[in-house]
Each structure stands twice: as C-alpha cells, then as structure tokens.
C-alpha cells in the first residue's frame, strides 16, 4: 500500500514530527515515514495499527508507545535493551550454561557441608521436614556461625553468582544477623544489625579489617522500602533469597539484592573501578565460603538457614599449578598382616592458606609382591602419626608419606588391585572435579586430609602410592 501524504491533523504533541506521520483516513491507521528519522521522547501515545518502512530510524525513548492493534515492520531492525539483571557482572546476557560449584538442599539428613561454631547457649538444629537448620540464641554472648567446609573458586573474567535463602528474626535491637559469602576477613553479606538493614563488603586488603557498610536508606538501587521501582517492602523475617554477583579482578563491581516473585532486584551496587581513593583491591580475594551468623547481646532470636548455591556463570576452565608427591623407590609402606586398613599417603592444606582451592586429580598405587589388595580413598579425613612436609614455598599443600592411623573421614572410593611383582595403577580421576576438593574447618582451623589407605590378605606386603593435584588458587 502506498503511504498516504502527511496530514496536518495531529495532536499538539505530535505536530513537531507531523511531516513524518501519515494518516490513512479510510482505515484509521497511522504510518511512520522513517525516511525522516523520527524520535519520540516526550509523550505516551496510543494508536491503532502501526506500519514502519525502512528508509530511516525510529527511536522511542523515555516513554511508552502502547499499540492496541498490530505492528508491521518491513525490512527494519529492532534494538532491545535488556534489564540490568538479565546480564551477569560482566554485562553478558545470562543464558542456561552455568557451572554449579556448590549447592546444598539439606534433604533427609545433615549432609555435613557446613561447619558449626556455637558460643554460650546458642544452638543449631536440623529439621528434616523443612530441610532447614535453625540457628538460635537466647541471651547475651550467644552466637551461632555456620560456614561451608569448602571455599569456592572465582575465575577472573567470569561472573560469580551466589544465592542464599533464609528467614530471620524480626529486626530487633541487640541481635545481629548475617547471610552471605564471607569469612572473618573478607566477603559480601546482607546484615540486619538491630533494626537496620545493611549491605556490607568486608576487606582485609589493608592488613586489617575494613567494612563498607551501606544502610538501607543509602542503597543506590531499589531500597525495598516501598519507594523503589518494584514497589516492594522487604521483611527479613519472611523467607528471602539473597543474591550477589561478583566482578572481582580486584577492582570490579559487586551487585547485591533479592530475588522476589522470580525477579532479580538490585538493591545496592558497590563500584570500585575508577573510584576516588581506591588504589588497591576492594577485598583480598573472591574465593570464599558461604556463611550464616546469628549473635545476641541480650535478646533471644532465630535464623533459619535454608538453601545455598554458588555458580560460575559461563563455566570454568581449569588452570593452575600441577603438583604431585609419592613414595621414593625403596621406601614403600608395609601393610598390617591382619587385613586392617593402613594410610599410605595424605595431603592437606597448609594452615596458613586455609582458603586455597586444591583439587586431587589422580593417584597411583603399586604393589611390590603378589597378593590381593583393597584400597580406599578418604576425603575430609584426619590421620595421626608421620611427618608433615611442605610441598614447596609456592604451594598451599603439605604432605605426609607415612601416617600411622586414620581417625575420621568419608570414603569416596574403594576398589581391589592385584599384582604379580609388577606395578599396578589404580583408576585415576583424570577429569578434574570439585567433589574431592581439599576441605577445612574455617571456624576451628582444622585442615582436613585427602588420604589413600589399603589392606591386604597377604603377609608382609608393601605398597607404593602417589597423589597428583591441581592448585587453582
């Protein structure tokens, strides 16, 4: 259809662009002649059908153009701007290819993924029916802290997304409640201090703890007090989903907020690049654990810990320092003659590097003489005896080539091997996995071990063993 000639009959707010509009008086349709380049910025316009030809550009900004009929676009293009939370911390569109580094759902039993520290009459109780942990305090000096045994790797250039769900006590003077991704030295968390809601970044970059604490009244996003774009008022005593996404690189931005009604709401963004006074990293590291805290200076209160996850958005590419350790030739481990298990070799994090990420990736076990052997791999273990030796000045690991007994741990793998005076290699974990990542209790400074143990039906049997690992932080 040929575009009708422009008409001078137009509402006042369209007269400045009337030469670019055409009215088909027969059908009542309005056509935009885009050879004139049209910009509509200052009014809300409701029309019937809209036809757009391809001779120029149409820019509609600042207001809406509701259409009650059909929109026809011929040989033209549409530019769509996504909402800020539809992109990750580096501005990439969020798509369905995240790599989950950690998740906990607490179904059926305590999965032993969090360490717990209790002071005074504080308590932590698991509830299988609701798949939750209830942290509780009753009087002055009580506290309960729960922190993951693992820290979670941040990879430069990829957004790290964390989500924690909870329900707190109604904000009360004398109660401090925290949920987030943090330690005693570094991290990001949502805090209810007395009756004040805060977003906090804690940093040890200067060698002492410094906290950037932003109260709700100063949040630079949706304050969730009913005045923001969402119109929502948050109540931390109700179940909530707290989220952060981290652009570290030492100087990036951190967004914090809540997921409500399926929408990621940005409450406050901490910006660090090109900011006055910023001359170093905003926190020491973004490789941290998840953590829940409840502390009282008088009143009773509870914090319901529900579910958590840590996600590397855009996957993860393994990179780091490869290391290995094993017994020297001529120095094997003699197994007991009573078919009991004996540790052969163990590795653990150094106490000076508790937040390092170390991934065992392979092992070998070789028998000196013919017999039937059964081996077990333990994680989150503790051994006794032997001597611990540093794997190097630039390593976060120490090893023990002759532990004498194992006192605790989780069996992650077991199998049989047999040898006729020849070396035999056990199945190796060549594809890296965070499942066997070395763990620690950051609340008690215990470094847990990755241990190979073995037993045999023979007598006076000797074994060699080695462990390969990747240090990625």
pLDDT of 232 higher than 90:
yes
- Report DSSP state, residue 189: E
The answer to whether residues 20 and 142 belong to one domain is no
Least confident of 96-105, 300-309, 457-466: 96-105
212 closest CA partner among 194, 235, 189, 239: 189
406 within a domain of the structure (yes/no): yes
Mean per-residue pLDDT of the chain: 86
**Cα–Cα distance for residue pair 254/273, rounded to 1 Å:** 11
Point out the domain boundary residue: 51, 73, 95.
73
Bigger pLDDT: 74 vs 441: 441
pLDDT of 62 higher than 80:
no
Pull the structure tokens for residue 222. 């949706």
133 closest CA partner among 380, 310, 311, 308: 308
444 closest CA partner among 11, 106, 149: 149
What is the mean pLDDT of the segment spanning 12-31? 55
pLDDT of 436 higher than 80:
yes
CA angle, 183 as apex, 179 and 187 as ends, to 5°? 70
79 within a domain of the structure (yes/no): no
1 within a domain of the structure (yes/no): no
Point out the domain boundary residue: 278, 313, 348.
313
432 within a domain of the structure (yes/no): yes
The answer to whether residues 289 and 374 belong to one domain is no
Let me know if 300 is exposed, middle or buried by CB neighbors in 10 A (0-12, 13-18, 19+).
middle
CATH code of the domain in which 380 resides: 2.60.120
Residue-level pLDDT at 452: 97
The answer to whether residues 22 and 147 belong to one domain is no
The answer to whether residues 351 and 392 belong to one domain is yes
What is the mean pLDDT of the segment spanning 208-231? 98
pLDDT of 12 higher than 50:
no
CATH code of the domain in which 100 resides: 2.60.120.200
Residue-level pLDDT at 11: 47
The answer to whether residues 251 and 362 belong to one domain is no
Contact (Cβ atoms closer than 8 angstroms) between residue 281 and residue 118: no
Contact (Cβ atoms closer than 8 angstroms) between residue 30 and residue 46: no
Pull the structure tokens for residue 277. 């006074």
The answer to whether residues 371 and 452 belong to one domain is yes
Collect contacts of 120-124 with beta carbons under 8 A, ≥24 apart: 122/294, 122/296
The answer to whether residues 332 and 384 belong to one domain is yes
Percent share of the chain, pLDDT over 70: 80
Residue-level pLDDT at 78: 63
pLDDT of 194 higher than 70:
yes
Query: Rounded to a whole number, what is the distance in angstroms from the first to the last CA of the chain?
Result: 65
The answer to whether residues 49 and 92 belong to one domain is no
Residue-level pLDDT at 9: 46
Tell me the pTM: 0.81
Residue-level pLDDT at 54: 44
Pull the structure tokens for residue 45. 């316009």
Least confident of 40-44, 99-103, 191-195, 441-445: 40-44
User: Ranked by mean pLDDT, which of 3-7, 321-325, 427-431 comes out on top?
Assistant: 321-325
Task: Give start and end residues of each alpha helix (H) in 208-352.
Answer: none
What is the mean pLDDT of the segment spanning 154-170? 95
80 within a domain of the structure (yes/no): no
Q: How confident is the model at residue 96 (pLDDT cuts 50, 70, 90)?
A: low
Q: Provide the residue range defining the domain that includes 46.
A: 12-73
**Cα–Cα distance for residue pair 469/183, rounded to 1 Å:** 25
Map residue 35 onto helix, strand or coil: helix
What is the mean pLDDT of the segment spanning 78-106? 80
The answer to whether residues 204 and 62 belong to one domain is no
What is the enclosing helix (H) or strand (E) of 345?
strand 342-349
Residue-level pLDDT at 90: 78
The answer to whether residues 386 and 435 belong to one domain is yes
Residue-level pLDDT at 43: 45
The answer to whether residues 113 and 251 belong to one domain is yes
- In the block, which residue shows the tokens 């050879």? 35
What is the mean pLDDT of the segment spanning 238-261? 96
What is the mean pLDDT of the segment spanning 58-81? 57
Map residue 217 onto helix, strand or coil: helix
What is the mean pLDDT of the segment spanning 109-119? 96
64 within a domain of the structure (yes/no): yes
Point out the domain boundary residue: 286, 313, 340.
313
Residue-level pLDDT at 15: 44
Pull the structure tokens for residue 311. 């996600």
pLDDT of 386 higher than 50:
yes
Give the chain's domain count: 3
Q: How confident is the model at residue 27 (pLDDT cuts 50, 70, 90)?
A: low
DSSP string, 118-170: EETT-EEEEETTTTEEEEEE-STT-EEEEEESS-B---TTSEEEEEEEEE---
78 within a domain of the structure (yes/no): no
Q: How confident is the model at residue 56 (pLDDT cuts 50, 70, 90)?
A: very low
pLDDT in tens, 264-300: 999 999 999 999 999 999 999 999 999 999 999 999 9
User: Ranked by mean pLDDT, which of 2-11, 315-324, 358-367, 426-435 comes out on top?
Assistant: 358-367
pLDDT in tens, 73-84: 555 566 667 777
**Cα–Cα distance for residue pair 200/283, rounded to 1 Å:** 12
The answer to whether residues 229 and 272 belong to one domain is yes
Residue-level pLDDT at 428: 45
Q: How confident is the model at residue 41 (pLDDT cuts 50, 70, 90)?
A: very low
178 within a domain of the structure (yes/no): yes
């Amino acid at each position: 259809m040929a575009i009708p000639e422009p008409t001078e009959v137009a509402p006042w707010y369209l007269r400045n662009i009337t030469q670019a509009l055409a009215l088909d008086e027969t059908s009542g349709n309005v056509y935009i002649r885009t050879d004139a380049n049209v910009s509509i910025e200052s009014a809300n316009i409701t029309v019937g059908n809209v036809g757009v030809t391809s001779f120029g550009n149409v820019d509609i900004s600042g207001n809406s153009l509701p259409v009650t009929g059909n929109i026809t676009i011929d040989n033209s293009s549409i530019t769509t701007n996504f909402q800020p939370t539809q992109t990750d911390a580096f501005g990439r569109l969020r798509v369905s290819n995240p790599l989950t580094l950690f998740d906990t759902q607490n179904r059926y039993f305590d999965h032993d993924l969090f360490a717990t520290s209790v002071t005074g009459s504080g308590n932590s109780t698991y509830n299988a029916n609701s798949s939750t942990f209830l942290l509780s305090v009753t009087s002055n000096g009580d506290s309960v802290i729960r922190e993951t045994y693992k820290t979670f790797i941040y990879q430069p250039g990829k957004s790290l997304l964390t989500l924690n769900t909870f329900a707190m006590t109604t904000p009360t003077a004398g109660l401090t409640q925290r949920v987030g991704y943090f330690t005693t030295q570094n991290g990001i968390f949502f805090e209810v201090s007395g009756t004040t809601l805060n977003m906090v970044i804690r940093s040890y970059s200067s060698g002492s703890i410094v906290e950037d604490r932003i109260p709700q009244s100063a949040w630079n996003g949706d304050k969730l007090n009913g005045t923001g774009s969402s119109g929502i008022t948050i109540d931390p005593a109700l179940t909530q989903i707290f989220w952060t996404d981290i652009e570290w690189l030492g100087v990036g931005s951190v967004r914090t907020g809540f997921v409500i009604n399926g929408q990621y709401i940005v409450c406050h963004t901490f910006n660090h690049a090109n900011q006055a006074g910023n001359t170093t990293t905003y926190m020491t590291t973004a490789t941290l654990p998840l953590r829940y805290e409840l502390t009282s200076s008088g009143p009773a209160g509870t914090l319901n810990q529900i579910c958590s996850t840590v996600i590397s958005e855009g996957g993860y590419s393994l990179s780091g320092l490869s290391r290995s350790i094993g017994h020297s030739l001529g120095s094997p481990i003699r197994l007991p003659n009573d078919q009991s298990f004996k540790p052969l070799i163990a590795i653990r994090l150094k106490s000076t590097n508790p937040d390092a990420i170390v991934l065992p990736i392979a092992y070998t076990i070789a028998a000196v003489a013919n017999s039937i052997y059964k081996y077990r791999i333990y994680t989150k273990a503790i051994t006794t005896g032997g001597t611990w030796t540093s794997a190097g000045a630039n390593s976060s690991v120490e090893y023990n080539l002759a532990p004498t007994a194992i006192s605790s741990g989780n069996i992650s793998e077991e199998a049989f091997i047999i040898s006729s005076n020849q070396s035999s290699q056990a199945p190796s974990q060549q594809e890296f996995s965070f499942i066997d990542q070395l763990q620690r209790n950051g609340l008690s400074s215990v470094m847990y071990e990755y241990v190979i143990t073995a037993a045999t039906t023979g007598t006076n049997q000797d074994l060699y063993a080695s462990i390969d690992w990747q240090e990625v932080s």
